[in-house]
Amino acid sequence: DSGVTQTPKHLITATGQRVTLRCSPRSGDLSVYWYQQSLDQGLQFLIQYYNGEERAKGNILERFSAQQFPDLHSELNLSSLELGDSALYFCASSVDGDSSYEQYFGPGTRLTVT
Amino acid sequence: AQSVSQHNHHVILSEAASLELGCNYSYGGTVNLFWYVQYPGQHLQLLLKYFSGDPLVKGIKGFEAEFIKSKFSFNLRKPSVQWSDTAEYFCAVNAGGYQKVTFGTGTKLQVIP
């Protein structure tokens, strides 16, 4: 157990819908990262938040957005869902905003878009 | 932009065989390098990392990796694999500081008893 929690574990929804994925970092970690893992693309970095502020952005679509709240949990919002958005979404946390620090990964949320 | 290549997508070995998983990165400056492992049904976890100093890095569970700057490589090795090493292995690179970490596409290792 890494100490990072993600809910829900599984999510099945239809195209065009909107979903919210939630992540709670390890106690004391200030930074949260979101990744998308699909069969053909591997593990893709989406976005990083540090202490409530966006720190780095990766290959995140405009239909996707994220935020980190004062209690440091984070949410990833996916809207206008398409079949291709089906993937495992991982959250990771680290103690600092410097991504040289070890990242601790959550168990992931498996999203299926039908 | 930094990128990472893992050339072996799927490797099958018998127990006690030696392992070497390739990882090459492209980035002209100073880098931090990582290997993460994902055991079946579990979350990704750090195996080892290189920041500076001795290019031969030792990690958990008998794994090691060697950073060869001239070859832009950071290959993962283990002299004798066990069935419990069956997992997916990810190489990752970070240009330091507040730069993002870029992961390779992963190598699935299957160890046959």
In this prediction, residue A67 carries a pLDDT of 97
Chain A nearest CA to B105, separation (Å): 4
In chain A, which residue's Cα lies nearest the Cα of B41? A107
Q: Is A96 on the interface with B (CB under 8 A)?
A: no
pLDDT tens sequence across A68-97:
999 999 999 999 999 999 999 999 999 987
Spatial contact of B46 and B65, defined as CB atoms under 8 Å apart: no
pLDDT tens sequence across A90-114:
999 999 877 777 899 999 999 999 9
pLDDT level of residue A12 (50, 70, 90 thresholds): very high
pLDDT level of residue B95 (50, 70, 90 thresholds): confident
**CB A102 to CB B46 under 8 A?**
yes
Contacting residues of A for B94, CB less than 8 Å apart:
99-100
Which one of B39, B98, B102 would you mutate to disrupt binding with A, by most A Cβ within 10 Å of its Cβ? B98
Q: What angle do CA A16, A90, A3 make, to 5 degrees?
A: 135
Q: Is B45 on the interface with A (CB under 8 A)?
A: yes
pLDDT tens sequence across A14-54:
999 999 999 999 999 999 999 999 877 788 999 999 999 99
In DSSP notation, chain A reads --S-EEE-SEEEE-TT--EEEEEEPPTT--EEEEEEEETTTEEEEEEEEETTEEEEE-S--TTEEEEE-TTS-EEEEE-S--GGG-EEEEEEEESSSSTTSPPEE---EEEEE-
pLDDT level of residue B97 (50, 70, 90 thresholds): low
In this prediction, residue B96 carries a pLDDT of 67
Q: Is B73 on the interface with A (CB under 8 A)?
A: no
Chain B nearest CA to A82, separation (Å): 22
Which one of A33, A53, A103 would you mutate to disrupt binding with B, by most B Cβ within 10 Å of its Cβ? A103
Q: What angle do CA A74, A79, A80 make, to 5 degrees?
A: 170
Chain B nearest CA to A62, separation (Å): 19
